[in-house]
Amino acid sequence: MDLKIYDVVLELVRSVAPLLAVLRAHSAELGDQCERALISIPLNTAEGSYSRGRNKYARYHNALASTREVLACLETAQAFGWLGSLDSRMSELFRRVIGTLVRLANPKR
Boundaries of every domain in the chain: 5-105
- pTM value is 0.93
Percentage of the chain beyond pLDDT 90 is: 86
Q: What is the pLDDT of residue 109?
A: 60
**Closest-CA residue to 63 (of 91, 102, 29, 30):** 102
In words, the CATH class of domain 5-105 is mainly alpha
Burial class (CB in 10 A: 0-12, 13-18, 19+), 52: exposed
What DSSP string runs through 20-47?
HHHHHHH-HHHHHHHHHHHHHHHHHHHH
Residues 6+ apart with CB under 8 A from 26: 77, 80, 82
- The predicted-structure confidence for 37-76, as pLDDT tens digits, reads as follows 999 999 999 999 988 888 899 999 999 999 999 999 999 9
